[in-house]
Every structure is written in structure tokens, then in C-alpha cells.
Amino acid sequence: MQDGRNVAGYYGPFTPAHHLGITATYAIPGRKSRAQLLQGWEINSSVNLQSGPPVNPVDATDDFAGIGGGRGLLGGASEQWSLVGNPRNFHLGKTTPTPCYAFAGSRFASNPACLPLTLTGDNGAGQACINAANQEVVNAQMNAEIPGSSSGLASLQRFGCYVSPNGKSVLLPPAQGTFGTMGRNALFGAAFGEWDFSASKKWTFSERVALQFRAEFFNFLNNRTYSGGTASITNPATFGLATSAPNSSNPINGTGGPREVQLGLKVTF
């Protein structure tokens, strides 16, 4: 997490933790037949599996730590929020944004997707936000000068919070005068998995002349894959929401788009 006394300690993962690629080629045993129909067949398969990429949700608009221009010394003008629980409980890169909660009059309250919070009554899963806010570290010096000026609950009432789909983890703004506890790139986007397949048939006419037909299937199972998800933690309408495939800006086949079929014919001589 960010620490004004240990700038070098602000680190985290930058690439997916796991990546497995398997390729296989099998030349089907042939036998002599009319028009070589039972000869020259080959199949190829490629499986690519990758764990979710790290995502770094930051707040680029609010100076919770209160260090003004000195924020650049900590890697820029963006700050982390506080994370309570297991970061793996948040599933970014889905077709729905991360569940959010807000008090009336807070910044998040203007978003109709956020559920209401109250200091009294049944808040459901949102009660985890209030419980976490009451346990937030505060700036004792600020409170000594102005009682209550540093409060996790006050920050929650001003902004809002996120609760993981299983209700076990919370993302919330830190108390004024403190840094958030979430580490760099602490959350993870959607995992990636794709199976590509191809089959080819070769006719040999002489030692030098041959003809090959090839059919290639990218994303053979036509599984829908989404990108990592939006990391703008101050916008609950889009936080964690994925609206595109990994290959949206990459025209290369086999990188996450819908199933595509490519046919080819090659003559060698």
C-alpha cells in the first residue's frame, strides 16, 4: 500500500500470475486410397489459459492523505482506497458493475445502481461497509486538533463503497489524513481461456508439386471472453464493468474474439 515513509514499498504484480499454453499436432496415419482421400490428414490444436490480469483501482480526484502536490512523490496524483477482506472476492471484467452502496447525499448516491445505506436499520450486505469504516485507521493528530476530522465513517458518508458479490470483502475510501490499505494492482480482472483448432489435407502429385487445404477455427467453442474491466473506482456505474473482448484493439485471431473460421489453399512446386 502507499506509505509516505516508504515510497519504495508501493509495489504489486503487473502481469497475470499464471499462463499455460499447450499446442499439439497429430499426423493421422494414412493408407492408399482413391484420390488420396485417406492420406495426408493432419490436425492441430492450441489451448491458451491465463489467470486474470492485475487491476489497479485508484482515486485520481480526492486527496485523502492531505499531502497536496507531494502526491507525485508517491507515483502520481492517484491514491488507493482501503481493502478489507480478500481481493479475489471481487470479480472484475464482468458484464455487470461491482455492487455499490451509498448514504443519501453522498457522491455515489446519484448513481441508481447503488443501494442505500443508513446508520440505523437493515443494510443487508452494505452493513459490511459501515463495519469496515468504523475500523478504519484514523489520523490521531488531526483528531486532536479538530475532533472527528479524520473518520472512516465520515469518508464513507461522503463517498460510498463497494461490496464483493459474496458479501465478504469491502472497498471503501480511507479516513481523511491517511492512506488507503489496498496494495498496488491488488484486484484482478477476468481470466482468459481459448481453444484454437485446425485440420489440413495434403495431396501429393509429384516430388515437387503438392496441394494443401487447411481449415482453421479460432475460439473453436465460441466462448465469450471479456477484458479486464474498468478501474475507475470513483465511477460506480462502470467500476469493474467489461464491455469489450481482449482483441477489441488487436486484430490478431486467437486473442479473445468470437469464433472465426479461416480457409486456405496452398500449392507448392
- Whole-angstrom Cα distance, residue 109 to residue 102? 5
pLDDT at 229: 63
Q: What is the pLDDT of residues 72-115, one digit of tens each?
A: 544 455 788 999 999 989 888 877 888 999 999 999 998 888 99
pLDDT at 68: 65
Q: What is the pTM of this model?
A: 0.78
The list of the chain residues with pLDDT below 70 reads 1-11, 67-77, 228-230
Cα-Cα-Cα-Cα torsion 155, 160, 165, 168, nearest 10 degrees, comes to 20
What are the b/e assignments for 181-199, b being 16+ CB within 10 Å?
Answer: bbbbbbbbbbebbbbbbbe
- Whole-angstrom Cα distance, residue 250 to residue 211? 32
Cell 459490511 found at: 128
Give kind and range of the element (H or E) at residue 70. Answer: none
- Whole-angstrom Cα distance, residue 221 to residue 126? 38
pLDDT at 5: 56
pLDDT at 261: 93
pLDDT at 9: 60
Cell 473453436 found at: 220
pLDDT at 75: 47
Residues in the chain: 269
Task: List, in sequence order, the alpha helices (H) in the chain.
Answer: 127-134, 140-145, 152-158
Contact predicate 97/239, CB 8 Å: yes
Distance of CA 200 to the CA centre of its chain: 37
Nearest to 67 by CA among 139, 132, 137: 139
Domain ranges of the chain: 17-50+191-224+239-268, 82-184
Q: What is the pLDDT of residues 170-205, one digit of tens each?
A: 999 999 998 888 888 888 888 888 999 999 999 999
- Whole-angstrom Cα distance, residue 248 to residue 215? 24
Nearest to 163 by CA among 85, 76, 57, 227: 85
Contact predicate 236/115, CB 8 Å: no
- Whole-angstrom Cα distance, residue 102 to residue 161? 7
254 contact partners, CB below 8 Å, separation of at least 6: 46, 48, 194, 196, 218, 219
Indicate the SS3 state at residue 262: strand
205 contact partners, CB below 8 Å, separation of at least 6: 211
